[in-house]
């Protein structure tokens, strides 16, 4: 994994890497961070969407109430999404299987927290694209407007634990100067 000093981060337009980020979500996943410099958690996400809502750039993420991350998100209303570099696959897999209740995943996988520019939630230095988001609005996966498809319920919600969907305004976005060459 590259060390922090290997790379320089530059400001990018919020949707400049939407294609690469969508691809990374599918495989190997992206890293969702919430909390603050002293107390943060990181989890792997495979779902999310980038676009525009209410005239603002948004990153939509979905988190189940059972997740350690959920509490941080609810308390802070902020998160970062970090697109891993090629070579970080093992760290991403780890962050998707181990709970922050049981381990300090940053420490275990040598992930370096860098201060966000606009949010208290840190970004991950080793990741090559970093989105800083503030929750604008949220909703819940439920049947109130339209029933969740049966197939989806059976596969993803056999025990309930329905996702909350967070629409985060992308308030800052950075990428490593050499991001294009190192995206997964």
Per the listing, tokens 């107390």 go with 39
> Does 12 sit near its own copies (CB under 8 A)?
no
Task: Select from 31, 42, 58, 95 the one that contacts its own copies (CB under 8 A).
Answer: 58
Cβ-based nearer residue to its own copies, 109 or 134: 134
18 binds its own copies (CB under 8 A): yes
Please name the residues in contact with 71: beta carbons below 8 A apart, sequence gap of 6 or more.
Answer: none
Report whether 30 contacts 48 (CB < 8 A): yes
Q: Does 137 bind its own copies (CB under 8 A)?
A: yes
What is the C-alpha to C-alpha distance for residues 126 and 109, in angstroms, rounded to an integer?
Answer: 11
Would you say 36 or 74 has its CB closer to its own copies?
74
Half-sphere exposure of 27 (CA within 13 A, CB side): 0
By the rule CB under 8 A, 127 interacts with its own copies: no
Should residue 160 be labelled a site residue for its own copies when binding is judged by CB under 8 A?
no
Q: Rule CB under 8 A: say whether 47 interacts with its own copies.
A: yes
User: Which residue of 38, 39, 54, 150 would you call a contact of its own copies, by CB under 8 A?
Assistant: 54
The total of other beta-carbon atoms located within 10 Å of residue 75's CB is 11
Minimum distance, C-beta of residue 7 to its own copies, in the bound complex (Å):
21
DSSP-assigned beta bridge partners for residue 64: none
Measured between alpha carbons, how far is 56 from 173 in angstroms, rounded to an integer?
13
For residues 91 and 158, what is the distance between their CA atoms, to the nearest angstrom? 28
Nearer to its own copies, 3 or 22 (CB): 22
Rule CB under 8 A: which residues touch its own copies? 15-23, 25-26, 46-55, 57-58, 60, 62, 135-141, 144-146, 148-149, 152, 155-156, 164-165
């Amino acid at each position: 994994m590259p060390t922090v000093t290997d790379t320089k981060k530059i400001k990018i337009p919020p949707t400049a890497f939407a294609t690469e980020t969508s691809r990374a979500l599918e495989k190997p996943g992206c890293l969702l961070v919430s909390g603050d410099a002293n107390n943060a958690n990181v989890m792997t996400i495979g779902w999310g969407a980038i676009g525009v809502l209410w005239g603002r750039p948004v990153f939509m993420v979905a988190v189940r109430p059972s997740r350690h991350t959920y509490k941080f998100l609810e308390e802070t209303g902020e998160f970062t999404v970090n697109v891993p570099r090629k070579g970080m696959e093992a760290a991403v897999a780890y962050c998707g299987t181990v709970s922050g209740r049981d381990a300090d995943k940053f420490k275990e996988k040598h992930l370096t927290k860098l201060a966000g520019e606009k949010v208290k939630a840190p970004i991950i230095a080793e990741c090559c694209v970093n989105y800083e988001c503030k929750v604008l609005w949220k909703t819940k996966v439920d049947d109130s407007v339209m029933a969740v498809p049966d197939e989806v319920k059976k596969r993803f919600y056999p025990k309930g634990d329905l996702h909350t969907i967070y629409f985060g305004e992308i308030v800052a976005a950075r990428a490593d100067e050499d991001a294009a060459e190192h995206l997964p």
